[in-house]
Amino acid sequence: MSEKGKEKKKEYLVITSGKMWQPYNWYVGEYWTKFFDGFKEKKFLGIKCSKCGTVYALPRQVCGRCFVKMDEWVELGPEGVIGAFTVVKFPYIDPNTGEIIKPLPFTVAAVRLDGADSAIWHYVNELDESKIKVGRRVRIVWQDERKGNIHDIKYFEFID
């Protein structure tokens, strides 16, 4: 056999990186559907336990203390108080997009809305750590156009 015949055919595996966009939707359930529908009307709804009176800022069907089903909806805020915060300065992957969070830095805080017994984490439009204090009052700033998701809240801003 000639030298030429001994040559094996080579296959090359080409690896490229790129982006694929696969839009999808999912059902968030009865409670979160009602919760996010409230956002379209700039209403932040919580749910109250009929047994112990605890008001949850993010709705859930069953009270974590009493284990009873809850169905008493209450409107919360639009103001609240900061319970904790952090100014994020190091990049990490956004689970919603798979990309590095930009731009840095940004501030997130646990905000207990008036009328609620629990807090939600969301953006605050202040980067100066010396100006952000636990106990400061904030209010919701809504997007001009709301679609019924968590991004309908643009951020919280200080009111005191």
Inter-residue contact 109 to 121 (CB < 8 Å): yes
Residue 29 Cβ vs Zn ion, minimum distance, rounded to whole Å: 20
Residue 46 Cβ vs Zn ion, minimum distance, rounded to whole Å: 13
Angstrom distance (rounded) from CA 83 to CA 136: 8
3-state class (DSSP) for residue 12: coil
Minimum CB distance to Zn ion smaller for 59 or for 78: 59
Minimum CB distance to Zn ion smaller for 49 or for 113: 49
Closest by CA position to 74, among listed 33, 35, 118, 112? 35
Residue 113 Cβ vs Zn ion, minimum distance, rounded to whole Å: 18
Minimum CB distance to Zn ion smaller for 39 or for 56: 56
Residues that bind Zn ion (CB under 5 A): 49, 51-52, 54, 63, 65-66
Inter-residue contact 124 to 155 (CB < 8 Å): yes
